[in-house]
Amino acid sequence: MPKRAAPAWRRWAARMESELFAEVAVMGAALGRSLHYAVPDRLAARLSPGSRVLVELGKRTLAGVVLSLGCSVPELPEGVAIRPILDAIDEMPALPPDLLQLCRWLSSYYFYPLGEVFDLVIPFGVSEPVGAGRGRERKKTEPATPRAAVFEPTVDQRAALEQILPFVENPSFQPFVLYGVTGSGKTEVYMRLMEKALLLGYGSILLVPEIGISAQMETIFQDRFGQSLGVWHSGLSEGFRKRSWAEIRSGKRKIVLGARSAILTPVQNLRLIIVDEEHDTAYKQDDHLRYNARDAALMRAKIVEGPVVMGSATPSIQTVQRCAEKLYRQVTLPSRILNRPLPALEVVDMKREGGKRGIFSYRLRVAIGETLGAGHQALLFLNRRGYSKYYLCNTCGKPLECASCSVTLTYHKDDDRLRCHFCGFEARLPDRCPACGHAALFPRGFGTEKVEKEVKRLFPAARVVRVDRDTMSSRKRLVNALGEVRSGKADILLGTQMISKGHDFPNMTLVGIINADSGLQAGDFRAGETLVQLLIQVAGRAGRGEEPGRVIVQTYNPDHFTIDSALRLDYDGFCREELKSRENLQYPPFSRLLKLLVTSGDEEAAVAGARLLAALCRQRAEEFRKGGGAVAVLGPSPAAFVKLKNRYRWQVFLKTWTNPDMRDFVLAVLQAVKGDSSFRAVQITVDRDPSTEA
């Protein structure tokens, strides 16, 4: 009997045994694993880990990133052939080794397909090689030498530099926390560290939480670093982003300043990372790859073996605890530049205002008038945009809600529209209540738009700039608005948390916090931390110039622990008490938290899916404990906004006490879900280290 011939794919694999193979993460395909492809001889010299390649997947031609190269492949199932790589896309690898390693960590830690991580990181299409961007040419300037806007370091700044600089000069991984009061000169410390790194030929990244802060710092850093500076954030045009990426990858820009995603740029020879306002929740992305840029910065610094400096006047509770555990080194800047005093805070108990309470207390109205009369500027803070918070029917008691989201519609008087701030739905204010038909709709609460109208009524000669998401529709408008304030063309700056941190307005001597209670009752264990940080940060905008500052805080809860801590600027005291509470309840940083969000267009399916998922998690948790692991399952429960964009949302929380336990348990749950047809009617999203419980 003649010997049966081997299948064609086995004969092909046998011929390729001495050839080169590439492990590839395919982009544009939600695969949970990498694939192997044969490397043709003509491409062997052009490929290395981090290179982008064209590959076939089924009948599609897609881009992929080479993860590794070798002379062997895993054992393949019967009938599976190894296809060749079609072509190399770029002349040089799109990703340097450290960024490639970071992407692999992001995929593993946040349970997100690696190919989709690359989709978010690399701004080029399949047919575009790195360097194809045609953004507008940046103004050509030579690297600037320090001007004669440059002060000698203060004693505190010099002490901080002496502690951190050795880790820049001889790079090694070390997290530092630059704990400096508002106005203490943290930015100057950042620039001197980056200057030293640049002189040594090292690259640096500086992260800021919002585009507005990036715009302010860009001018300062451009003067200091000239052509070495690259800028990266979502406000850049597509062409400019591609050009910036190519210039950063080539080493032309060795310093990158930007918002959250700047941590994912391909900086050459990176050895220093700085995270300004490290406590800010804006560093946590709330869709797609739900990563925290601060945590990514820590991991990337560990990969490149360089220091990471996290600066804040109000460090996160997690960071405070890591300092107490000696995992991070705390460096302090206890005083403002030139020993300028911190602002004086006074509280107005709005319950005692009497009569018909308006937006402004008598004390704040007088203070605004005094400030303007002295030729100084005032900042008014309210973390709520729009004219009225919502409309309520006095007959049936129901508010006007978005049809697609379980949230009230906010009224905007400028264009007489009701808007949903989540899905963008808008409509005209109806004459009658849609629920009961009575003409009994009345406004409740107020937002920045209504505050602006009241300011102009009380102070008609004042020049007012309002900064919120309604007025600042582009980065250019935001930059221009803040420029008007900084140059003295505006008298009053009114806005939401967009103006609460990082900005330096030397002539601003008064800060009025219109409603300090906003967010106090949020259904999130971090609500107190977020509020006290916000209040202390916005208070710090006052008195940063030669004139002393004052802050007037309007509140209905002056004795509340959180409000009282902010009024006394006692962040250390707040942290001590908050950490005791967190430890008793075993909330982070004393545990690890993960949210499984279950969504569906059908309400019953979402509820059923969440209950089924919780039951599955509890069953697996029992098995997990028998193996020595520890996990707690909380829920299911409706999300804070149970309906958004026509999808119903329920959630299950998981709590563990080690990262390995969290990873092992979630992988087991996701594997079980993948093979269970009962979950086909819902979508399950993993949110590790969620910033809120919303």
Query: Could you tell me if residue 460 is inside a domain?
Result: yes
402/460 same-domain check: no
Per-residue model confidence as pLDDT tens digits over 576-616: 999 999 999 999 999 999 999 999 999 999 999 999 999 99
Q: How many CA atoms lie within 13 A of 206 on its CB side?
A: 27
Q: What is the pLDDT of residue 148?
A: 36
Q: What is the pLDDT of residue 355?
A: 61
Whether the pLDDT of residue 208 is over 60: the answer is yes
**What is the DSSP code string of 379-444?**
EEE-S--SSBSEEEETTT-PBPB-SSSSSBPEEETTTTEEE-TTT--EEPPPSS-TTT--S-EEEE
CATH (domain of 680): 3.30.70.360
Return the minimum-mean-pLDDT range out of 6-20, 24-38, 495-509, 545-559: 6-20
356/500 same-domain check: yes
Return the minimum-mean-pLDDT range out of 2-6, 72-76, 503-507, 656-660: 2-6
325-339: average pLDDT: 92
Query: Could you tell me if residue 285 is inside a domain?
Result: yes
Burial class (CB in 10 A: 0-12, 13-18, 19+), 488: middle
CB 118 within 8 A of CB 99: no
pTM of the full structure: 0.89
79-83: average pLDDT: 83
C-alpha to C-alpha distance for 13 and 435, rounded to whole angstroms: 69
Q: What is the pLDDT of residue 11?
A: 39
Q: What is the pLDDT of residue 191?
A: 96
Whether the pLDDT of residue 552 is over 70: the answer is yes
Query: Could you tell me if residue 149 is inside a domain?
Result: no
Q: Give the list of residues 6+ apart from residue 641 with CB closer than 8 angstroms, or none.
A: 405, 406, 407, 422, 649, 694
269/187 same-domain check: yes
451/436 same-domain check: no
Q: What is the pLDDT of residue 140?
A: 41
Chain-centroid distance, C-alpha 618: 31
Query: Could you tell me if residue 148 is inside a domain?
Result: no
609-624: average pLDDT: 95
Q: Which long-range contacts (CB under 8 A, 24 or more apart) does 363-372 make?
A: 363/552, 364/512, 364/514, 364/552, 364/554, 365/458, 367/510, 367/512, 367/550, 367/552, 368/455, 368/458, 368/459, 368/492, 368/510, 368/512, 369/459, 371/509, 371/510, 372/459, 372/462, 372/491, 372/492
Query: Could you tell me if residue 130 is inside a domain?
Result: no
Query: Could you tell me if residue 136 is inside a domain?
Result: no
CATH (domain of 39): 3.40.1440.60
Percentage of the residues of the chain whose pLDDT score is greater than 90: 58
Q: What is the pLDDT of residue 479?
A: 80
Q: What is the pLDDT of residue 478?
A: 81
Query: Could you tell me if residue 288 is inside a domain?
Result: yes
Structural domain harbouring 642: 592-688
Per-residue model confidence as pLDDT tens digits over 518-529: 777 666 788 889
Per-residue model confidence as pLDDT tens digits over 529-544: 988 998 998 888 887 8
168/314 same-domain check: yes
Whether the pLDDT of residue 6 is over 70: the answer is no
Q: Which of 582, 611, 633 is the last residue of a domain?
A: 582
Average pLDDT score, the chain = 88
- Residue 568: phi, psi to the nearest 5? -90, 0
Q: What is the pLDDT of residue 647?
A: 94
Hey, what's the torsion of the CAs at 435, 441, 446, 452, to 10 degrees? 130
Whether the pLDDT of residue 23 is over 80: the answer is yes
543/670 same-domain check: no
265/315 same-domain check: yes
CATH (domain of 274): 3.40.50.300
Residue 8 binned pLDDT confidence (cut-offs 50, 70, 90): very low
Whether the pLDDT of residue 15 is over 50: the answer is no
Q: Number of structural domains, the chain?
A: 5
392-421: average pLDDT: 83
Per-residue model confidence as pLDDT tens digits over 116-154: 999 999 998 877 888 654 444 444 434 434 443 767 899
Q: Which of 582, 609, 634 is the last residue of a domain?
A: 582
Residue 650 binned pLDDT confidence (cut-offs 50, 70, 90): very high
Whether the pLDDT of residue 512 is over 50: the answer is yes
- Residue 578: name the closest of 514, 532, 511 by CA: 532
Return the structure tokens found at 577: 């008490």
374/477 same-domain check: yes
Q: What is the pLDDT of residue 347?
A: 92
Q: How many CA atoms lie within 13 A of 65 on its CB side?
A: 30
Q: Give the list of residues 6+ apart from residue 146 with CB closer than 8 angstroms, or none.
A: 224
50-63: average pLDDT: 94
Per-residue model confidence as pLDDT tens digits over 182-193: 889 999 999 999
548-569: average pLDDT: 90
522-540 burial, b if ≥16 CB within 10 A, otherwise e? bebbbbbbbbbbbbbbbbb
Comparing 403 with 69, the larger pLDDT belongs to 69
425/395 same-domain check: yes
403-429: average pLDDT: 83
Per-residue model confidence as pLDDT tens digits over 340-376: 888 888 999 988 887 666 889 999 999 999 999 999 9
Query: Could you tell me if residue 133 is inside a domain?
Result: no
191/289 same-domain check: yes
370/420 same-domain check: no
412/504 same-domain check: no
- Residue 554: name the closest of 384, 372, 345 by CA: 345
Residue 385 binned pLDDT confidence (cut-offs 50, 70, 90): low
Q: Which of 563, 582, 601 is the last residue of a domain?
A: 582
For CA atoms 179, 180, 181, 186, the dihedral sign is negative
287-305: average pLDDT: 97
Q: What is the pLDDT of residue 692?
A: 62
